[in-house]
Amino acid sequence: MAKVVVTVKVFPVSTDVPLDQLLEKIRASLPEGTELHSSEKVPIAFGLNALRVNILVPEEEGGASHVEKAISSVDDVSEIEVEMVRRI
């Protein structure tokens, strides 16, 4: 079965949130069968940074939505934006 890479931009609730800790919370919240492939810090404005994470998901219907729900439920996450979904 093929895999899908879901690229998500994750915005923290404030500039006080350590992005390393937020990344670990995101990693722990991911559904079974998914894995965090890579991440990077993205400057937004006025000292606020977001995380851009690439998550490997099995190719199945609704896979990306399960990832969205899991990340949205993490404390310290203000909002998320799915930037891209692609098959690898």
pLDDT tens-digit series, residues 38-83:
999 999 988 889 999 999 999 888 778 999 999 999 999 999 999 9
Range 10-18 average pLDDT: 94
Name the amino acid, one letter, at 14: S
* 7 pLDDT more than 90: yes
- Please name each of the domains of the chain with its CATH number: 3-87 (3.30.70.60)
Q: How confident is the model at residue 27 (pLDDT cuts 50, 70, 90)?
A: very high
Q: What angle do CA 9, 10, 13 make, to 5 degrees?
A: 145
Residue 40's SS3 state is: strand
* 5 pLDDT more than 80: yes
Per-residue pLDDT at 35? 94
Residue 19's SS3 state is: helix
